[in-house]
Chains A and B, each alone.
Chain A
Amino acid sequence: MNETVLAPVKPRANEPHRHAVESVVVRFAGDSGDGIQLTGGRFADTTALAGNDLATFPDFPAEIRAPTGTTFGVSAFQINFGSRGIKTAGDQPDVLVALNPAALYVNLGFLPKGGLVIIDIGTFNARNLKKAGYDGDPREDGTLKPYRVIEVDVSKQTLEAVKPLGLSQKEALRCKNFWVLGFVYWLFDRDRGPTLDWAARKFAGRPDIAEANAAALNAGHAYAETAELGEDIAYSIAPAKMDPGLYRTVTGAESLAWGLVAGSSLAGLRLFFGSYPITPASSILHILAGLKDYGVGTFQAEDEIAAVCAAIGASYAGELGVTSSSGPGVALKTEAIGLAISTELPLVIVNSQRAGPSTGMPTKTEQSDLYQSVFGRNADSPLVVIASRSPSDCFETAIEAARLAVKYMTPVILLTDGYIANAAEPWAVPDMADYAPFPVEFRTDPEGFQPFHRNETTLARNWAVPGTPGLEHRIGGIEKASESGHISYDPANHQRMTDLRAAKIAGIANDIPEQTVDAGPQSGKLAVVGWGSTYGPISRAVSNMRNRGVEVSHIHLRHIWPLPRNLGTLLAGFDNVLVPEMNHGQLVTLLRSEYLLPARPLNKVTGQPFRIAELESAISALV
C-alpha cells in the first residue's frame, strides 16, 4: 500500500466548536462528470462506519455526460444521517454543496433559508453562469443572501494539491470531488481513513491517481480545518443507537441480488438470471454477473423478450429462472410471462420501476407499474406480486419471491423502484442459518405421472425436468387438459383450468403472513396504507403526527397480490383510509375494488419521493 494513503490523521490543531445535532441532510450537486454519485457513496460509507443511521437519495440525469455546465447535466446525491433512526433521505438539505453554477441553479430551491451552501467559485465564470440560466452572478445580485455561503475555488485548490504528482490538467481536475469530500469530512468530523483505503484499492492499477485523490482529500480537509469558516459551521453527530450486531451499508440492488442468490440456494436450485440492460435495473445484472463462485448463471440477452424466455427455459430445465427489468422492458416480456403462467413454471420477474409511460424519465422514481403487475397481461392470467419497501427489505422480498415461485409453480413479480435500487442504508447483516430452507423436490417417479396433476393443498403441478427418465412429456401455451397436459379445446376443461389458475394464486393468501399495523392502533380514525418505497416517508410522517398526539396508523403492504387475507377486515376498522402513492392512484383502486372501501388517494408523480411535510399535511386534513 501507498504510504501517503496510510498517513495518520494529524492531531487537531484548530478544533472548532462543533454544533451538536441529531440529524443532518447534505446534498452534493455538480456536473454529471464531477463524480457526485461516487462522492455521495463514499460519504455514506464513512458515515455508516461512524455509527450513524442514514438514508441516501441519488438523483441523477439519464445523460451519461450531458454537455458540461448545463442544468440538465446536473447530478445530485442527498444523504440524511443522524443519531436517531433515519427513515428518508430528508425533505430539505441543511447543507448544499454546488460544484458549478448549474448545480446551484437547480438545487438552491431545495435549501431552506439560513441553510449552508458551499460553492466552487472556480466554475463561476460568465460562460457557466449563462449556461446555468443566470442573468447575473448569484453571488452579487442577492440570490444567495438568505443563505450562509462558503465560497472556495475548489478547482484551483485541487490543482495545487495534486501538482506534485504531474497529472494532466484534466486528470487533476477529476480529483475535485475528493477535495470537496475532504472539506465536508472536516465539517462533520468524519474519519478519512476508510476513503483513503478505498481509493488505494479502487485505483490499485493507477497508484498516481490513488495518490492524487488522497492528496486532494487531505488538502480539502486541511483547508477546512485552517480556514476561518465562521461560527457554527462545523457539526458533531453522535452515533445512532442501533441494535447490537454486525452491520454494513447496502443498496437495494445489492440486497435484491443477494436475496435472489439466497432464495435460490434455500430452494436447492441454481440461479439463472436472464436480463437486458435497462435503467435503473441494470445494477442487479452487474452484481449477479460477479457471483459465478456461487453458481449464478447470468445471461445478457439480445432483448427483454429473450431474457425472460431464457429464464423460463432455465426454469423448465430445473433452475430458478429470474429476469429483471423496468416497466417498458416488463411490457415486452408480457407474452412470455403469460406462457409461464400457462405452463405453470416458476419465474421471478424483478421490476425496478421508473417514471413513465413509455421511456418516461428513466432515472426518476415512480410506483406506477402496480396495474401492469397485477393486471397487465392478456386473458385471465393471475400471478403473485410483492413489493420491497426499502433497500435492505429487498433481501427478504427476493427470498419470498423465490419461495412462492417454486412452491406454487408460478411467476412472481417483485416490485422495487429506482429510488430503492440506488439508495443505501445500514443493514444488520442476516445469518442464513436463521432462514428455513424450502428445498424443491422434482418429480422423478414415472408411476402414474401426469404433468398437470396437482398438489391438493398448494394446487401446484408436478415439476418434472427434462433428463428425467420415463417422464417425457410436452407442455406449451395451448390450453392443456387438466391432468394429462395434452392439448385441449374442451369448453369445460378451459373453465376448470382458468378456475384452477385463479384458485392457486388466491390460495397463496393462506401462506403469507396476516397484515400487521406498522405503527398506531389496530383500528381507529385513520390508516395510512402504503406499499414499496414510500415506507420511509410514511413511517416518519405517521410517527411525527403520533408524537403530536394525532391518532393515525401506518399499514404497509408487502404482498400486493394476493392481498393478505385479513386486510379487508383490518381496513374496515378505520374511519378513513389514505393511500399515498407515487402514481396516479393504483393501489387505491385495487383496495376500493377488492373491499368496496372509500379509500382516498394521495398521489405524487414528480419523479421525487414524498416529502414528510406533504404526508403530514395530508394526514392533518383527515383527522
Chain B
Amino acid sequence: MNVPISTEQLTAKDFASDQEVRWCPGCGDYAILKAVQRTLPDLGVPKEKFVFVSGIGCAARFPYYMSTYGFHTIHGRAPAFATGIKLANPELDVWVISGDGDALSIGGNHLLHLLRRNVDVQFLLFNNEIYGLTKGQYSPTSRVGTRSPSTPGGSVDMPVAPARFALGAGARFVARGVDTDQKRLPDLFKRAHAHKGTSFVEILQNCIVYNDGVFGAITDREVATNAQIHLRHGEPLIFGEKADRGLRFNTRTFALEMVTLGEDGITEADLQVHDETNATLAGLLAVMEAPFPVAMGVIYCNPAATYDGAVQESLKPGPAADPLSINKLLRRGHTWQV
C-alpha cells in the first residue's frame, strides 16, 4: 500500500482534514488556511512529506485542519520541535504555524535561534496584535494604548515589529502578506517554500472578536492601494491607486522618502529599485508604517547555508550504528587484560 501519491493530482481539498474547523466565524485564519491548502498541491512535494508544527494559540490549531502530518506542541516551542524534526529527517517539508503571542512573547527566544540557525522550514506568523484564545489580552505586537482586559487603561509598553525582529535575528527570508489577499498569498508561500533556510512570513490577520479592524487602515479595500506597497525584486518601489507614487532613497538622511512621479521632475529613474538581497533596504522596508505604505511581498531573500544542511554534512549518513560496531567505541583508549 505504500504507493507515493503525487501531489500533482491533488487539489486544495485533498489537504483539508476531516476535522471541523473551529475558529470564530469570520476569523482571518480561515483565509490563511485556504491559501495554504491552495499552495501545497503546486509544490511538487509528496503529501506524506509535509509536517505542520504549531505551539499554542488560535493559530496553533492549524495542523488539525490539514490532512498532512501535524504536531500541536506547547506554547512558544514549535521552533524547537521543528528543529528536532528537521535534524532527524531533512527530507521532511516542515511548516511552523505561530501567532504573535506564541512566537514573540513566550517563544521569542526559540524564534530568534531558529532564524539565526537558518533551519530550512517555513515560519508563518499570524499577527493579529492580540491574544485570542485567552480572551483578548494585549500582545507583544499590540500598539501602545491598546485597551484590553489586562490593560483597561491602554497598554503602555512598546510593541515589537516582527519583520524587524526577524531581520535582527539574522533571517535570510522575510516576507509579509495579508490574510484575505488570496491573489498574492499562495505565491508568497511558494516563494517561502522555494527558499532554503528559515522563511519568515508575517501575515496581518484580523481577529474578528478581540481586535476587529486593527489593520483596517492598511487592508481595507478603499485604502489598500495607497496604504500598501507590493515589492518586486528589480523593480522600482511604486505604489498608489494611480501607481504614481514612489519611494526614493535619501542619501543624506539614510532614509526612504515618499515622492510623486511627475512632481518636481521626478521620474521612475529617481526611485529606489527593490533588491531583495539588500539587508539595509530590507531594514528600512520592514518598519515602514503610515503615513508610508506598509511593505508587502518579499522584503528580504538572501540565502545562506542552513543549519540542518551543515549538520547532515558532518554526520555519517545511513542507518543507525550496528550494535557490534559499538565494541570498537568501548575499547577506545587504555585497556588491559586480566
Contact A467 B49 (CB under 8 A): yes
Whether the Cβ atoms of A487 and B64 lie closer than 8 Å is yes
Q: Is A356 in the interface zone, CB < 8 Å from B?
A: no
Q: Within 8 Å CB of B83, what residues of A?
A: 299, 306, 310, 313
Binds A, one of B88-96, B214-222, B265-273: B88-96
- Chain B contacts of A307 at CB under 8 A? 80
Which residue of chain B lies nearest to A313 when distances are taken between CB atoms in the complex?
B84
Enumerate chain B residues within 8 angstroms of A35, measured Cβ to Cβ: none
**B310 on interface, CB distance cutoff 8 Å:** no
User: Which of chain B's residues has its CB closest to A49's CB?
Assistant: B336
Give the residue name and chain of the B residue nearest to A274 (CB).
B84
| CB closest residue in chain B, given A475 | B71
B327 within 8 A of A: yes
Q: Within residues 1 to 38 of chain B, which ones have a CB less than 8 A from any CB in chain A? A: 1-5, 17, 19
Q: Which of A307, A316, A429, A466 has the most CB of B within 10 A?
A: A466
**Contact of A305 (CB < 8 Å), options: B1, B77, B89:** B77
Contact B337 A247 (CB under 8 A): yes
Whether a CB of chain B sits under 8 angstroms from the CB of A85 is no
- Which one of B202-210, B234-242, B313-321 is at the A interface? B313-321
Name the A residues within 8 Å of B322 (CB-CB): 265
Q: Quick check: A306 and B80 within 8 Å, CB to CB?
A: yes
Contact of A295 with B318 in the complex, beta carbons under 8 Å: yes
Nearest-Cβ distance from residue B123 to partner chain A, whole angstroms: 15
Q: Which residues of B contact A297 (CB under 8 A)?
A: 87-88, 311, 315
The residues of B that contact A431 with a CB separation of less than 8 Å are 327
User: Is B72 within 8 A of A477, CB to CB?
Assistant: yes
Which residues of the partner chain A approach B51 to less than 8 Å between Cβ atoms? 317, 466
287-338 of chain B: CB within 8 A of chain A: 311, 314-316, 318-327, 329-331, 333-338
The contact of A437 among B91, B323, B329, by CB within 8 Å, is: B323
A314 to B88, CA, bound (A): 5
Q: Would A466 and B85 be within 8 Å (CB), given that A475-B70, A486-B19 are in contact?
A: yes
The interface residues of chain A lying within 8 Å CB-to-CB of B64 are 474, 476, 487
CB distance from A448 to the nearest CB of B (A): 11
Find A432's partner among B74, B77, B110, B327 (CB 8 Å cutoff): B327
Instruction: Find A262's partner among B48, B326, B334, B336 (CB 8 Å cutoff).
Output: B326
Please measure, in the bound complex, the distance between the C-alpha atom of A473 and the C-alpha atom of B86, giving whole angstroms: 18
| In the assembled complex, A45 has its CB within 8 A of some CB on chain B | yes
Judged by a CB distance under 8 angstroms, whether B165 is at the interface is no
The answer to whether A313 and B81 touch across the interface, beta carbons within 8 angstroms, is yes
**A244 to B326, Cβ gap below 8 A?**
no
Q: How far is the CB of B333 from chain A (nearest CB, A)?
A: 7
A298: min CB distance to chain B, Å: 9
Contact A466 B326 (CB under 8 A): no
In the bound complex, residues from chain A placing their C-beta under 8 Å from that of B17 are 474
Instruction: Give Cα A506 to B4, complex, Å.
Output: 40
Does A468 make an interface contact (CB < 8 A)? yes
A295 touches B48 (CB 8 A): no
Instruction: Point out the residues of chain A lying under 8 angstroms from B72, CB to CB.
Output: 474-478
With contacts A309-B84, A319-B88 taken as known, whether A446 is within 8 angstroms of B74 at the C-beta atoms is no
A257, closest chain B residue (CB):
B329
A243 / chain B contacts, CB cutoff of 8 Å: 338
Task: Enumerate A71-123 residues with CB–CB distance to B below 8 Å.
Answer: none
The reply on B213 being an interface residue by CB < 8 A is no
Determine if B336 and A48 form an interchain contact, defined as CB atoms under 8 angstroms apart.
yes
Alpha-carbon distance between A335 and B75 when the two chains are bound, in angstroms: 9
Complex Cα distance A486/B22, Å? Answer: 13
**Given the interface contacts A242-B338, A295-B320, A447-B1, does A477 sit within 8 Å of B74 by beta carbon?**
yes
Q: Which residue of A lies closest to B52 (CB)?
A: A474
Q: Is A293 among interface residues, defined by CB-CB distance under 8 A?
A: yes
A299 nearest CB across to chain B (Å):
6
Q: Is the CB of B333 within 8 A of A248?
A: yes
Chain B, Cβ-Cβ closest to A197? B334
Q: How far does the Cβ of B308 sit from chain A's closest Cβ, in whole Å? A: 10
Query: What's the nearest-Cβ distance from chain B to residue A194, in Å?
Result: 7
With A318-B88, A472-B47, A476-B72 as given contacts, are A429 and B80 in contact (CB-CB < 8 Å)? no
CB contacts (< 8 Å) of B225 on chain A: these are none
Q: A293-B316, A310-B87, A474-B64 are in contact. Are A247 and B48 (CB under 8 A)?
A: no
Q: Assess the B334–A194 pair: CB atoms within 8 A.
A: yes
Q: What is the chain B residue whose CB lies nearest that of A270? A: B320
Q: Is the CB of A316 within 8 A of B320?
A: no
Asked if A432 contacts B318 (CB within 8 A), the reply is: no
Determine whether the beta carbon of B1 is less than 8 Å from that of A445: yes
| Cβ-closest chain B residue relative to A345 | B71
Q: Are A317 and B84 in contact (CB under 8 A)?
A: yes
- Please name all residues of chain B whose beta carbon is closer than 8 Å to the beta carbon of A343 when the two chains form the complex: 71
A51 at the interface (CB under 8 A from B): yes
Interface residue A609 (Cβ < 8 Å from any Cβ of B): no
Determine the distance from Cα of A469 to Cα of B91 in the docked complex, in whole angstroms.
14
Which of B50, B70, B321 is in CB contact (< 8 Å) with A295?
B321
- A437 CA to B68 CA, complexed, in Å: 33
Does B316 contact A292, Cβ atoms closer than 8 Å? yes
A262–B323 CB distance below 8 A: yes
Q: Is A490 positioned at the interface, with any CB of B under 8 Å from its CB?
A: no
Least CB distance, A36 to chain B, in whole angstroms: 21
A416 at the interface (CB under 8 A from B): no
Q: How far is the CA of A618 from the CA of B315 in the complex (A)?
A: 53
Give the one of B46, B70, B320 with max A CB within 10 A: B320
Q: What residues of B have a CB within 8 angstroms of the CB of A314 in the complex?
A: 84-85, 87-88
Bitwise interface map of A from 233 to 255 toward B, beta carbon under 8 Å scored 1, else 0: 00000000011111111000000
CA distance A156 to B338 in the complex (A): 41
Nearest B residue to A266 by beta-carbon distance?
B323
Contact with B along A272-301 (1 / 0, CB 8 A): 101000000000000000011111010101
User: In the complex, what distance in Å separates the CA atom of A281 from the CA atom of B25?
Assistant: 50
Are A470 and B336 touching (Cβ within 8 A)? no
- If A49-B336, A248-B336, A295-B321 touch, does A303 touch B67 (CB 8 Å cutoff)? no
Interface flag for B113 (CB, 8 Å)? yes
Q: A228 at interface (Cβ–Cβ under 8 A)?
A: no
Query: CB-nearest residue of chain B relative to A466?
Result: B69
User: Can you list 11 A-B contacts (CB < 8 A)?
Assistant: A246-B331, A272-B88, A295-B315, A297-B87, A301-B113, A306-B110, A313-B86, A316-B85, A469-B47, A474-B63, A474-B72
A-B interface, 7 closest residue pairs, ranked by CB to CB distance from nearest: A313-B84, A476-B72, A310-B84, A309-B80, A317-B88, A474-B70, A306-B80
Besides the known contacts A303-B109, A309-B73, 7 further A-B residue pairs in the complex with CB atoms under 8 A apart: A247-B336, A272-B88, A297-B315, A299-B83, A309-B80, A313-B88, A437-B323
